[in-house]
Structure 1
């Protein structure tokens, strides 16, 4: 026995622990001594001797005995006073973590350190709590677990507080668990994470302003005993329950994430002081009382659940509040006290009836690409202002009474109501038929836009100052020969009118208190007269006619080229129609989505055999027509040149190619494409597995060819190809038809798919009992592979054709289902059966009945056709050959076959008329009606059976089988079975030749 009594008071005792060892704490009466107790893997000898002594296992776990800490070998350390410190993992964090068990309660008087992750401290008894009188510090990278197991166990009490340090992985987990115990934390600090799980309750008592990590509720109840328990931390609420126990008031959360329901019960939440972007998709519910939400901090809080029901209102004080439709509940004010209110993508909800503005505060509204209408006047006669940011249009209607400045910093402000403020157009555009009692001031690069169509009431202001070069434009198609009211400026005046210039052809004038614009009587046509250059509004003379410049609403023609040319787009170009008619050399339109593009009401026509490349996205809505050549959307970079809302007509002789490189593939808007031309899908040629074009959903109006040059196109059913008459699958591409259905287009295939390991096929058929049927023909343009999933089916009713020498491969390591050819197939190349079953079914034939290609068989070759078939090539491999249907059909083998799989004839006739160097097992048996027959003709060579398998002719009850041997040599290396001794069976073997 070792004793601690002889140790110097300044020394420390080192416990050396092996991996997997449990540690058990038993209740003890501590004695006074000051020491650092280590549990590590240093192998030192201080205090307890060598490593062999200090390696407790099994029953020799770390206990608390009557004399103090003990390593299980009676080497005790008499201590446990406030001056002591406990290091799990050693002073330097070199230990090996394990379990620490307590079944009688224990109080740690001194500081406790977990210097490595992986320890589990378990309270397993009902005789007391585990109490930490001083601070517990968690280090390392990973989880340290505090667990309560069994009924009636004690509590964990962190009376001295808990510090969770940030480790190398930046996520340090601390877990509390149990069936009935309660953990309580007096104070919580650090940048690590805390996870609460189990069925018990946990309490945070202090104002933990020093805790900046994440508190995660998985399945337990977390009680917030202080309004600021998580003021600087993120609450990740994914399960269990959240309880507000400090009384009714506002609870501060540094951030909020998760999916569970927060029930306010009359309390409110202040979220965001941690200044980290967070997103919460759970529900904020009312419970038994009201309660509201306040967004603070500089970061973004995203609320995405339309089921939020809290009724105490929403206050935006700082940062960004991004919300989905309904996510700010449907009741309560929305107070704009600062920060930015941002509509989520696709959300256009009108909150104006609930808006409350604040004196001297600016409300920033971010439409975020949406067109949002505020139908109800707001403002409350406050001195607050409003700033519009983000793309998309913000329409303000009603009578609005705030008096601060309305600033436009991006997108379009469309005023159809009344304002009591001045309008400052810093960027973007302004339009509308409403009025303001203030001044309109425009900065350089901005525009006033008219809606087009018939003339309407103009925007009315109390004066206008064109502080910088300002454009006049239309968002809709203007009528010809029409005078439009641009601005009525009331009793005010116009300053710097010369800074207003029109972006479309027409005449600007100012008379009385009104600015007007008159369109021409006809849209002019401008023809590009150079090679590469910049296409801009009113810019350099690059066109042939008239003033040689372009203005919006002009028709633009690009004709024949002397060389490949790049046209650089500058600004938002709005031609009525763009016609490109090159025959050989390539045009490239280079722009920037959203800023330098073809936009608005424009349309695009591609004629002749040349290629036009749109290297970036465009937003024009007038439609695209491809009459000839290639219109390529994208130049190999991420994304493509789609028109946002336009339709595509691809006529016979034209090709619409979607060409993408790095980044996520953007699938076409399938239903928007019509015509009898070609839709081609391409990427960057690397053949990687990330090029998934999604589920095809062409409409019946597309009657042309879907040409998949690269990547995978999936189908949901037989209607996925609409009215397409042909589908081409190039090498590096795949048609994923595992959902089943009947497909009518003719299919042309080549190659082994899109590079996905185990699924190297051009056509991937049904999975798990599902059948994918191709009623049209399949053409092998080159060596190609097809296959079906496990227990799935791929059936080809049309003929499979192909050039001489082209090989058809069936199955892969992962696709071992059944592939059936049911047509009169004409391909003459070889067949390679990798796995699964290759079936010739119905009235199908290979090589129109006489197939000379070789068959390599590692699966099963199943001949189930009612037609006669001759296979004159070599059948090789270890796969099986089965003839199972057609009492009157005959399968004839005339090649020098080498296969070694089982040969089974259960119906019809198999005739061997060639030599065989392989050894096979033969089973000739079936019902009387099916009359299975094996004919061995005079031309047959040597036939050998396996040494380990019998030659069976009607070897089962109630079967029949016949072997007619007119020549050749049959060597049975095992038994020859004729009939069955115990039941009715009729096996016949006729020798009619040498």
Structure 2
């Protein structure tokens, strides 16, 4: 107790030295380059709510314990060989030699223990100290990558691993977190936690998303969804990183959201009830995997901000009422009927490659979206009047108008080689050319507001005469009729 436990110790001049002849606790420690702390075989405990930097050298066989909520930065060339214990706050590595060597020394005296404090890396030190980490129940391993890319290759064990700070923490060992005084978990608080081994997240312990992203790699595409936390307000964030990842279990926590990052496909098979919305920033988010009843499932609720691709691949029927916005595309891949009924504003294309896309409400597809039926058997059905940017389709596809009107056309030129049927009508708008080359049977009015409607088959507009009720009129309001046949 030579120095009061709350006293700030400052070595302000090069050459100044602090020597311990007994274990000592101080409020904080600061020192300029050229100063020294000689631990001997003793332990120095330091830290309070303030943040300080020690730029001198710390030596001896003794150890260092960090306490207090502040940040203590070591920026000198330290050689002490005792244990480093992080009880609270942050221990920041401001130099490449901040903690001495990277490996355990004879006698395992230079361990690094975690009991509430965080180890913070920097551009000066991204070294892997994981071989020195204590492996025991109740270790709370907090790693702050601080904008850097850090890899921990050794097998880690404890009760919790918490990823903090911007940057990427890569786990390449076989890690194990088990219950202790606290429940076991992996928590991604910020930045990215990247999985570079099959055992990166072990086989148990919950996975909590409180602000960071889980990144898959080619060596690990494991479905961890059954371990995802069900606590409220989870910020589920998945980077498929060019891989195909499937989540079988439902994400059910209230107030939570899902963000899909990275190239590749994330497939959801559960009945997901998170209600904070979905964001697709890159790659594809797919609901269902077609085929069996299990893989036919996959649903979400709420609105979607889609700036990449949202795919539906269910063999059974599915209705989605959320609002889809963004610049991304929609694809219907499943054999069932997909019904969209939200007031959608997305500006990407809409592609039907299988099954049926049914449109309800009148704004199910944004007025500027290009609609493409690219596979024979694909079908578009109207349950309300609908406007789309353009329409294209191969032979063998169908547009069923029912009693409604489809308005299509923009500055692009497209061809629809399938069949348009129903009692509804077709309106051509936009400066481009829209070619009908299938055997159409629709009996409603055809209206040409702009551009050109080209007849690419003898049955492009159905019959030649007015039907009963005079419903199949052809009206001109600025568009041209091109009798290509």
TM-score (norm 2): 0.65
Whole-angstrom CA distance in 2 between matches of 1:465 and 1:418: 15
Distance 1:284 1:378, change over 3 A: closer
Deviation at 1:333, TM superposition (A): 3.5
The partner residue of 1:318 within 293, 305, 318 is 305
Whole-angstrom CA distance in 2 between matches of 1:423 and 1:141: 62
What is the match of residue 201 of structure 2? 221
Superposed CA deviations along residues 701-741 of structure 1, whole A, max 9, x for unmatched, are xxxxxxxxxxxxxxxxxxxxxxxxxxxxxxxxxxxxxxxxx
Matched, 1:470 2:452: yes
Whole-angstrom CA distance in 2 between matches of 1:156 and 1:165: 21
What is the match of residue 32 of structure 1? 26
Matched, 1:87 2:73: yes
Whole-angstrom CA distance in 2 between matches of 1:405 and 1:35: 70
Distance 1:314 1:30, change over 3 A: farther
Deviation at 1:130, TM superposition (A): 1.2
Superposed CA deviations along residues 19-44 of structure 1, whole A, max 9, x for unmatched, are xxxxxxxxx95422421368xxxxx4
Deviation at 1:144, TM superposition (A): 3.8
What is the match of residue 65 of structure 1? 42
Deviation at 1:114, TM superposition (A): 1.9
Pick 1 or 2: higher relative contact order, CA cutoff 8 A, min separation 6.
2
Query: Highest CA radius of gyration, 1 or 2?
Result: 1
What is the match of residue 431 of structure 2? 445
Deviation at 1:194, TM superposition (A): 1.6
Superposed CA deviations along residues 158-213 of structure 1, whole A, max 9, x for unmatched, are 5xx6543225xxxx22537425444432xx543211222322235656683xx244
Deviation at 1:221, TM superposition (A): 1.5
Confirm or deny: 8 A CA contact 1:181 1:201 kept in the other structure. Answer: yes
2:336 aligned counterpart, secondary structure: helix
1:386 aligned counterpart, secondary structure: coil
Whole-angstrom CA distance in 1 between matches of 2:89 and 2:31: 11
Deviation at 1:220, TM superposition (A): 1.9
Distance 1:423 1:279, change over 3 A: same
User: Where does 1:375-774 land on structure 2 (aligned, <5 Å)?
Assistant: 375-376=355-356, 378-379=358-359, 382-387=361-366, 388-389=369-370, 393=374, 400=381, 402-409=383-390, 411-412=392-393, 415-427=398-410, 428-429=413-414, 431=416, 432-436=418-422, 438-451=424-437, 456-461=439-444, 463-474=445-456, 484-486=459-461, 491=471, 493-496=473-476, 499-502=479-482, 504=484, 519=485
Distance 1:449 1:415, change over 3 A: farther
Matched, 1:236 2:216: yes
Matched, 1:357 2:356: no
Whole-angstrom CA distance in 2 between matches of 1:300 and 1:419: 36
Confirm or deny: 8 A CA contact 2:380 2:398 kept in the other structure. Answer: no
Whole-angstrom CA distance in 1 between matches of 2:63 and 2:104: 22
Whole-angstrom CA distance in 2 between matches of 1:312 and 1:13: 69
Distance 1:121 1:272, change over 3 A: farther
Deviation at 1:113, TM superposition (A): 0.8
2:305 aligned counterpart, secondary structure: coil
Whole-angstrom CA distance in 2 between matches of 1:83 and 1:252: 26
Deviation at 1:430, TM superposition (A): 5.7
Whole-angstrom CA distance in 2 between matches of 1:109 and 1:151: 16
Matched, 1:175 2:168: no
Whole-angstrom CA distance in 2 between matches of 1:151 and 1:78: 15
Confirm or deny: 8 A CA contact 1:250 1:268 kept in the other structure. Answer: no
2:236 aligned counterpart, secondary structure: strand
Deviation at 1:365, TM superposition (A): 7.4
Whole-angstrom CA distance in 2 between matches of 1:266 and 1:421: 37
Confirm or deny: 8 A CA contact 1:34 1:81 kept in the other structure. Answer: no
Superposed CA deviations along residues 474-532 of structure 1, whole A, max 9, x for unmatched, are 3xxx6xxxx5452668526543266314274xxxxxxxxxxxxxx4xxxxxxxxxxxxx
Distance 1:45 1:318, change over 3 A: closer
User: Where does 1:14-25 land on structure 2 (aligned, <5 Å)?
Assistant: none
Deviation at 1:411, TM superposition (A): 4.1
Distance 1:260 1:12, change over 3 A: farther
Confirm or deny: 8 A CA contact 2:297 2:314 kept in the other structure. Answer: no
Whole-angstrom CA distance in 2 between matches of 1:484 and 1:13: 95
Superposed CA deviations along residues 653-700 of structure 1, whole A, max 9, x for unmatched, are xxxxxxxxxxxxxxxxxxxxxxxxxxxxxxxxxxxxxxxxxxxxxxxx
Matched, 1:46 2:1: no
Whole-angstrom CA distance in 2 between matches of 1:284 and 1:165: 32
TM-score (norm 1): 0.36
How many positions carry a matched residue from both structures?
A: 428
Confirm or deny: 8 A CA contact 1:334 1:355 kept in the other structure. Answer: yes
Superposed CA deviations along residues 357-402 of structure 1, whole A, max 9, x for unmatched, are 234346877367xxx45544735x5455235527674778668353
Distance 1:500 1:415, change over 3 A: farther
Deviation at 1:284, TM superposition (A): 6.1
Whole-angstrom CA distance in 2 between matches of 1:4 and 1:77: 17
Whole-angstrom CA distance in 1 between matches of 2:372 and 2:337: 23
User: Where does 1:90-105 land on structure 2 (aligned, <5 Å)?
Assistant: 90=76
Matched, 1:196 2:196: no
Superposed CA deviations along residues 389-428 of structure 1, whole A, max 9, x for unmatched, are 2767477866835325141336449644334543221334
Confirm or deny: 8 A CA contact 2:386 2:405 kept in the other structure. Answer: yes
Distance 1:263 1:128, change over 3 A: farther
The partner residue of 1:296 within 251, 275, 278 is 278
What is the match of residue 50 of structure 2? none
Confirm or deny: 8 A CA contact 1:397 1:417 kept in the other structure. Answer: no
Deviation at 1:108, TM superposition (A): 4.3
The partner residue of 1:278 within 254, 263, 266 is 263
Whole-angstrom CA distance in 1 between matches of 2:295 and 2:232: 15
Q: Which moved more, 1:440-449 or 1:257-266?
A: 257-266
Deviation at 1:115, TM superposition (A): 2.9
Distance 1:445 1:375, change over 3 A: same
Whole-angstrom CA distance in 2 between matches of 1:391 and 1:341: 11
Whole-angstrom CA distance in 2 between matches of 1:363 and 1:403: 18
Whole-angstrom CA distance in 2 between matches of 1:30 and 1:358: 69
**Structure 2 gaps, min length 5:** 16-21, 47-56, 178-183
Confirm or deny: 8 A CA contact 1:87 1:112 kept in the other structure. Answer: yes
Superposed CA deviations along residues 531-568 of structure 1, whole A, max 9, x for unmatched, are xxxxxxxxxxxxxxxxxxxxxxxxxxxxxxxxxxxxxx
Deviation at 1:106, TM superposition (A): 2.6
Distance 1:123 1:394, change over 3 A: same
Confirm or deny: 8 A CA contact 1:293 1:314 kept in the other structure. Answer: no
1:199 aligned counterpart, secondary structure: coil
Whole-angstrom CA distance in 2 between matches of 1:302 and 1:239: 18
Whole-angstrom CA distance in 2 between matches of 1:112 and 1:312: 47
Confirm or deny: 8 A CA contact 1:13 1:35 kept in the other structure. Answer: no
Whole-angstrom CA distance in 2 between matches of 1:357 and 1:440: 20
Distance 1:193 1:487, change over 3 A: same
What is the match of residue 49 of structure 2? none
Whole-angstrom CA distance in 1 between matches of 2:420 and 2:391: 20
1:145 aligned counterpart, secondary structure: coil
